[in-house]
Amino acid sequence: MLLWHIVAGLFCVIATPRVQCWAVNDVTVVEDEYGILGNQTVKRYTFSNSKMTVQIITYGGRISAIKVPDAHGGTQDVVLGFDNLKGFLQKNDPYFGAVIGRVANRIGSAKFTLYGAQYNVTPNEGQNQLHGGLRGFDKVVWEPFLHKKKLTLSYVSVDGEEGFPGTVITHVTYELTPDNELIFSVKAATTKPTPINIANHAYFNLAGHASGPNGLFQHVVSINADLYTATDNQSIPTGELVTVAGTDLDFRTPHQIGPLIQQRGGYDSNYCVNTDGHVGLVFVSSETSPAAF
């Protein structure tokens, strides 16, 4: 959970250059320099309360660490990532903890039609575009703004960037609540009609990333979805919605993930969440790890 508190409370400036910290009630935040990318400074924000610590970096708006207590009196980092900026700059970085945009997932043949006009976007996975192209939202340095309990990161994607129409202003906000929740929210505005599908791409291992596959395979997952999107051999949705009933994609009741992953080789599917006519927040999914308790 992420929270930035800069109102009534404690404000301190540490003697170490470029390090500042604030504290309000039971939450503290420390801002420091994480690295340099070209002529831009990448900042890191470390949020802590009495239970947990969350770190966010401005490169890609990434969640770089979530450290929580384990059952043995220690602390475990439950998201995957790297210890320094160099790791996140590797070409084979699998979008660890990043903000994904403009469009998360794939655009088939790297083109789409909108109001009768065809747009060709940058391909970066064969003939398709994945997660926004060669320089998606995960590869830019976001502008930070701290206010009360929230960190807001902003980025302006100009008209034509990666082939998309319209200039888009995006704000993503992270918040740490007193209940140890990490809240991620998104707002975007555009000057032209354009597709927008923004997500966070964190990889979680609730047993601690050091536990590796053995810890991961013990996770129990439930997903509130009756349907999923069928895809072709390049993982492009065909438009067909298929029932999960009778398949190994059915997580409407909780299942341990390990045996299923080993049986099918992994999961990369889009689920259609049941809303049951509700407006607003609905239950989507839960994940628990017996190894974490």
Place of tokens 């470390």: 46
Residue 221 lies in a domain: yes
Q: Which of 182, 204, 226 is at the close of a domain?
A: 204
128 lies in the same domain as 83: yes
Q: How many CB atoms lie within 10 A of CB 90?
A: 10
Q: Tens digits of per-residue pLDDT, 102-135?
A: 999 999 999 999 999 999 999 999 999 999 999 9
pLDDT tens digits along 242-281: 999 999 999 999 999 999 998 888 899 999 999 988 888 8
Parallel, antiparallel, or unpaired for β 143-147 and 129-130? Answer: unpaired
Tokens 């791409």 correspond to 201
Do 126 and 258 fall into the same domain?
A: no
Whether 144 maps to a domain, the answer reads yes
Q: What CATH number corresponds to the domain at position 60? A: 2.70.98.10
pLDDT digits (tens, 9 = 90+) for 48-87: 888 999 999 999 999 999 999 888 888 999 999 999 999 9
Mean pLDDT of 129-151: 94
What pLDDT was estimated at residue 20?
Answer: 53
Q: What is the pLDDT of residue 14?
A: 31
Q: Per residue in 187-230, pLDDT tens?
A: 999 999 999 999 999 999 999 988 988 999 999 999 999 999 99
Whether residues 254 and 233 fall in one domain = yes
Residue 13, in any domain of the structure: no
Long-range contacts of 282-286 (CB under 8 A, 24+ apart): 282/224, 283/224, 284/223, 284/224, 285/221, 285/222, 285/223, 285/224, 285/251, 286/221, 286/222, 286/254
Domain co-membership, 243 together with 265:
yes
Structural domain ending residue among the three candidates 204, 230, 252: 204
Would 236 be classed as within a structural domain?
A: yes
What's the full length of the chain, in residues? Answer: 293
Q: Would you state the pLDDT for residue 281? A: 86
Q: Give pLDDT tens digits for 36-48.
A: 999 999 999 999 8
Band (pLDDT 50/70/90 cuts) for residue 22 is low
Peptide bond into 102 cis (omega under 30): yes
Q: Is the entire prediction scored with pTM above 0.85? A: yes
How would residue 292 be classed by pLDDT, with cut points 50, 70 and 90? low
Name the pLDDT band for 25 (thresholds 50, 70, 90).
low
Domain assignment present for 15: no
In the chain, how many domains are there?
Answer: 2
Residues 78 and 106 in one domain: yes
98 vs 35: CA distance, rounded Å: 16
